[in-house]
Structure 1
Amino acid sequence: MVVSAQHLASDAGLEVLRSGGNAVDAAVAVGYALAVVYPAAGNLGGGGFMTIRFADGRATFLDFREKAPIAATRTMFLDPDGHVIPGLSTDSWLAVGVPGTVAGLEAASQRYGRLGRHTVLAPAERLARDGFVLTDGDAVLFAAETPGLAKDPGARAIFTRDGQALKAGDRLVQPQLARSLERIDSDGAASFVQGPLAQAVAAASQLGHGLITLDDFAHYRVREMTPISCMYRAYQVISAPPPSSGGVTLCEILNILEGYDLKAMGFHSAAESHVLIEAMRRAYRDRNQELGDPDFVVNPLSHLLDKSYAAALRATILPDAATPSASLPFAPASTEGQQTTQFSVVDAAGNAVSVTYTLNGWFGAHRVAGDTGILMNNEMDDFTAKPGTANMFGLVQGTANAIAPGKTPLSSMSPTIVARDGHLAMVTGSPGGSRIITITAEVIINVVDHGMTLEAAVDAPRLHHQFLPDRVDLEPEALTPDVRNKLAGSGYTFRDVTPWGHAESILVGGETLSAAEGASSLGGGLVLFGVNDPRAPAGSAAGE
């Protein structure tokens, strides 16, 4: 089963599984294919995280996030008076971090894949060379971002029609990107070290007054790390460690909520919504000030993940009143974007892969590197340009996430795998910037506590609180009018927003977790239920 935000990428992963590949091979194929068919977030010029759980229960995590260039400085986005320069961290070559996607996909393939590079790259090369026809779901992204894409000559030539938005029914052919993929097929990760692709990115950066040089590529390393792991009810939750805040914050939210009977409270009742919001508030306070790149800061993981710490936080939640964020101890600490993409894979043996990768904003910095066809990220905005100042996603962070040469910015990406009693249960994750963590938490809560089918759990309307700003974001129909009024009377402020995130998910053994109990054994083969989030209309679940 392969689930992604673009149906052709899902098909590419399934093609590789049918060719004898394992879940890692398929994930790598999806990653490359999304760079072609989902250029708004799929990428070669960005970075991301991969969580892997093998059929025997072992788990590992690959960090291939972008890094700050060697020449980066803590004040690079501030004017002489110390004020943040609007747009500099999102819409310039200075916004571009050193990309890690190719290095990460190649590391995964070489360490844990079964097939050769050419086989896993073939679908992406074909899609770039021959092109593909845009659906309505594809076209809506181009329509929104065409003004930005039209400003860069390289992006304008590829992703617009003489400056006008591509439309459903148009065929997008990308010969430059096809050649870049062929170069990767030939040279592997070396193409992004001293090879022509690295040279082209470095040259374009210098021409655009950016900071990336060939030395940045030579010093880039993929990190393999131990995932964050915690127990929620009877389930093991395996997710992303720092430099992602995702796994820690997700587990902290779940640890706090474990002390409540959410099922008895009812989905998004006043009682459940109250404790959800307060758990999110407290976990995001810690996220924003405590976490950062482990090569640069000490992350107090054992403390933040301790069940007794969660119990202490739970004890501060008032039974019928909001806790103003300003009343909680807080040392202002940094920023982040919503436009990432998630894909999930499970193979017939029970190996599972969850990947979230990103350009940060839609189409990143809206800049193509030379004649490579590769869109570049604007990931430097994920750093704290100035402690206490909000980033493009409204996150207010601290000094632990300050810019430093070679540092990885803090992320909310949370590629997550859930197991029970040694058996794989679920694979999930989502884009959504700072909302990724709460999306992932709510999907887990919906299936574990409320017994929803995976489809219902993914489709269900969402709420979100991230400590600052002190408000609750609501998707349409997330709360009934009565519940909303009752919570408003308890001190909550709301903002209505359009639906967010794409929780591309797989459930093992049944349509619900209760139906899957005892059915996830590999003895009779896996029964897999894949769900493409309807918020990603171009996506699909592809399996057999």
Structure 2
Amino acid sequence: MKYTYLFSIALLLVSLNATDVSGQTYARNGLVASSSKIASEVGIDILKKGGNAIDASVATAFVLAVTHPSAGNIGGGGFLVFMDATGSATTIDFREKAPLKASPEMFLDKAGNLAKGLNHTGRETTINHIGAKSIGVPGTVAGLYLAHQKYGSLPWADLVQPAIEIAEDGFLLTWSLFERETNFEANSPIPFLKAYFRKDGGELTQFGELWKQPELANTLSEIRDHGKDGFYKGVVAKEIVKFMKENGGIISLKDLKRYTAVERKPLKGTYKDYDIYSMAPPSSGGVALIEMMNLMELADLDAIEFNSTAYVHLLAEVMRRAFADRAEHLGDADFNEDIPLDKLTSKAFAKMRFENIDMAKASVSDATKFGQLYDGSSTTHFSVADAYGNAVSLTYTLENSYGSGMGSDKLGFIFNNEMGDFNPVPGNTSTTGQIGTNPNLIQPEKRMLSSMTPTIVAKDGKPYLIIGSPGGRTIINTVFQTVLNVIDYDMQVDKAIEAMKIHHSWLPDSIMYERDLLSPDTRKALEAMNHKLIPVNRLGALMGIQIDVKNNIMIGASDSSSPDGAAIGY
């Protein structure tokens, strides 16, 4: 079966036995919720062919590299959480690494300052997010290959082939991609991005026209035929290194050959009658999520109305404490043996943190004191569930939307700018949110700290909620609130995803909130409690699946803020 652009049309006619008029998707045999309708449909086709959740995840991820280039990627990295039908959970860490030639002060000028420049969209940003030196050693292909080799069931080539065919044959350019194209044409200083959506003749691909990516198809063919080695060795690796040398990057053939994805034990927490499985460092997501859930377990939520002043204040104070601990303690565990994971995720530590929350006024975030004070855009996510009882929660990223904006014309994919996720100035933590603590300073082959929070919530030893989101540091808090919404406020997953979200990250000391979703009276009351409020259009773009074991139903939802996303089931 050819995975042609016809999927773009077919997906507009979703089966009535799978999706109701309100947008959530119901299924019995399998479900995929991702940021691309085409990718979700391909994942479902893999499940229909007898593949398991890992097989569907691999196929979905590679298709996203074609249809969702702002974040779906083979030039970046991420994390996968897997729970099988027996309730056994594991994770795959395929976070990018710093190259061997990297150093803690590599982005500083002679005066020790972090310079600024124009990024790939023409906007000013710090130098650690710009250019080829901002590119970390990609991990996606290694991570997907490791997951498949250990837990997949269908042949690897069958899982990569759909993405190749879509790249070769093309798919109908969506409005959201067309808007990006016109923005790059007008504002990007990077020639690769200006030409990224062009046809062979040089004309811009228009909305609704076929967009073909033959160079990416060739790269994916190498990966199909040679597995992990098709990316980290051979012609693709040589072209990556050639690109780095020509553009001032520092990734070498040795970096690529030495890169490995790692299977890690998941972080496990409990909340009431539920088990929570998420990522350990170098993700900060699992630690912060479990710490915040432990704190919320101490609150009397029955007495606190959802979206009220007291609720928003409590969330902000809980987030403040978890993010202060994140800044002080977390980094790549392979380089930081003394990360106090057991302490940070313990009920006793949460009790100590909770005791000094003042429900009448905001705490103060002090850049010089970290957690001692409380002693007391782009990534994408998809969720998969199969008929066998397996579940996958996978989040991967290029860092900024479209990463570094740089790529080789011969390879057809965009490189990340993940080096910007390291602490760039040793020892300098500022009120603007820049962190300078030791655990996340740049070191060769170190994985940069991440906020990605792919999560599986289990009930009675079986997957119950499969959830995750893009959004930088806001990821942790959007996932946290969605889990709370499902468990404590009895929301179905689609309503939990769409409900009001806030974000507080300790520094800067402010609450971001989704515009128009807090009443004027609530905003006024929060400001009177010394909270600074910042409105934003949206927080996160969650993709989730909820499983009703009793009725043998899977319920999937794609965040309405993801214009090309869809939850597809059968």
Q: TM-score range by the shorter chain?
A: over 0.9
User: How far is the alpha carbon of 1:138 from its aligned partner?
Assistant: 3.2
User: How far is the alpha carbon of 1:143 from its aligned partner?
Assistant: 4.0
Q: Please tell me whether residue 442 in structure 1 is matched to residue 450 in structure 2.
A: no
| Matching residue within 47, 60, 65 for 1:35 | 65
Residues 534 and 263 (structure 1), Cα distance of their counterparts in 2 relative to 1, 3 Å cut: farther
Aligned to 1:56, the other structure's residue is in SS state coil
Equivalent residue, structure 2, for 1:116: 155
CA distance in 1, matches of 2:429, 2:369: 18
Q: Please tell me whether residue 260 in structure 1 is matched to residue 299 in structure 2.
A: yes
| Matching residue within 305, 308, 314 for 2:345 | 305
Residues 361 and 163 (structure 1), Cα distance of their counterparts in 2 relative to 1, 3 Å cut: farther
Q: Please tell me whether residue 14 in structure 1 is matched to residue 44 in structure 2.
A: yes
CA contact (8 A) 1:152 1:368 kept: no
CA distance in 1, matches of 2:279, 2:215: 34
CA contact (8 A) 1:49 1:355 kept: yes
CA distance in 1, matches of 2:168, 2:161: 10
Residues 331 and 452 (structure 1), Cα distance of their counterparts in 2 relative to 1, 3 Å cut: closer
Equivalent residue, structure 1, for 2:84: 54
Residue correspondence of structure 1 range 431-470 to structure 2 within 5 A: 431-470=470-509
CA contact (8 A) 2:452 2:476 kept: yes
Query: What per-residue deviation string (whole Å, max 9, x for no partner) do you get for residues 368-404 of structure 1?
Result: 124011210000000011146579x955352210000
Aligned to 2:260, the other structure's residue is in SS state coil
| Matching residue within 471, 480, 485 for 2:524 | 485
Q: Please tell me whether residue 529 in structure 1 is matched to residue 569 in structure 2.
A: no
CA distance in 2, matches of 1:163, 1:84: 38
Identity %: 39
Query: What per-residue deviation string (whole Å, max 9, x for no partner) do you get for residues 401-444 of structure 1?
Result: 00000000000000000001112111000000000000000100
Residue correspondence of structure 1 range 395-410 to structure 2 within 5 A: 395-410=434-449
CA distance in 2, matches of 1:480, 1:165: 44
Aligned to 1:343, the other structure's residue is in SS state strand
| Matching residue within 422, 436, 459 for 2:461 | 422
CA contact (8 A) 2:327 2:370 kept: no
Residues 539 and 456 (structure 1), Cα distance of their counterparts in 2 relative to 1, 3 Å cut: same
Aligned to 2:227, the other structure's residue is in SS state helix
User: How far is the alpha carbon of 1:91 from its aligned partner?
Assistant: 1.8
Query: What per-residue deviation string (whole Å, max 9, x for no partner) do you get for residues 199-245 of structure 1?
Result: 11111011101100000011111111001110012111100110000
Equivalent residue, structure 2, for 1:539: 565
How many residues are aligned here? Answer: 524
Unaligned regions of 5+ residues in structure 1, if any? 333-337, 510-515, 520-525
CA distance in 2, matches of 1:75, 1:528: 49
Q: Please tell me whether residue 494 in structure 1 is matched to residue 529 in structure 2.
A: no
Aligned to 2:196, the other structure's residue is in SS state helix
CA contact (8 A) 1:156 1:163 kept: no
User: How far is the alpha carbon of 1:119 from its aligned partner?
Assistant: 1.1
Equivalent residue, structure 2, for 1:211: 250
Residues 233 and 331 (structure 1), Cα distance of their counterparts in 2 relative to 1, 3 Å cut: closer
Equivalent residue, structure 2, for 1:315: 355
Q: Structure 1 length normalisation: TM-score?
A: 0.93
Equivalent residue, structure 2, for 1:159: 197
Residue correspondence of structure 1 range 140-539 to structure 2 within 5 A: 140-147=179-186, 150-160=188-198, 167-297=206-336, 298-326=338-366, 329-330=369-370, 338-387=377-426, 394-509=433-548, 518-519=550-551, 526-539=552-565
CA distance in 2, matches of 1:463, 1:388: 29
Equivalent residue, structure 2, for 1:523: none
Q: Which moved more, 1:137-146 or 1:499-508?
A: 137-146
Residues 443 and 140 (structure 1), Cα distance of their counterparts in 2 relative to 1, 3 Å cut: farther
CA contact (8 A) 2:36 2:67 kept: yes
User: How far is the alpha carbon of 1:97 from its aligned partner?
Assistant: 0.4
CA contact (8 A) 2:429 2:437 kept: no
Equivalent residue, structure 2, for 1:78: 108
Unaligned regions of 5+ residues in structure 2, if any? 1-30, 117-125
Residues 466 and 183 (structure 1), Cα distance of their counterparts in 2 relative to 1, 3 Å cut: same
Aligned to 1:505, the other structure's residue is in SS state strand
Residues 164 and 285 (structure 1), Cα distance of their counterparts in 2 relative to 1, 3 Å cut: farther
CA contact (8 A) 2:33 2:566 kept: yes
Equivalent residue, structure 2, for 1:106: 145
Aligned to 1:508, the other structure's residue is in SS state strand
CA distance in 2, matches of 1:114, 1:308: 42
The amino acid that maps onto 1:67 is: K
Aligned to 2:555, the other structure's residue is in SS state strand
Query: What per-residue deviation string (whole Å, max 9, x for no partner) do you get for residues 161-201 of structure 1?
Result: 79997542132100000011111111110122321111111
* CA root-mean-square deviation: 1.9
CA distance in 1, matches of 2:243, 2:328: 35
Query: What per-residue deviation string (whole Å, max 9, x for no partner) do you get for residues 475-517 of structure 1?
Result: 12332111111111111000111213111000001xxxxxx6x
CA distance in 2, matches of 1:446, 1:255: 15
CA distance in 1, matches of 2:434, 2:388: 40
CA distance in 1, matches of 2:496, 2:206: 32
CA distance in 2, matches of 1:395, 1:461: 27
The amino acid that maps onto 1:311 is: K
Q: Structure 2 length normalisation: TM-score?
A: 0.89
User: How far is the alpha carbon of 1:262 from its aligned partner?
Assistant: 2.1
Aligned to 1:360, the other structure's residue is in SS state coil
Equivalent residue, structure 2, for 1:125: 164
The amino acid that maps onto 2:413 is: I
CA distance in 2, matches of 1:270, 1:430: 25
CA distance in 2, matches of 1:217, 1:210: 13
CA distance in 1, matches of 2:269, 2:83: 14
The amino acid that maps onto 1:47 is: G
CA distance in 2, matches of 1:120, 1:167: 29
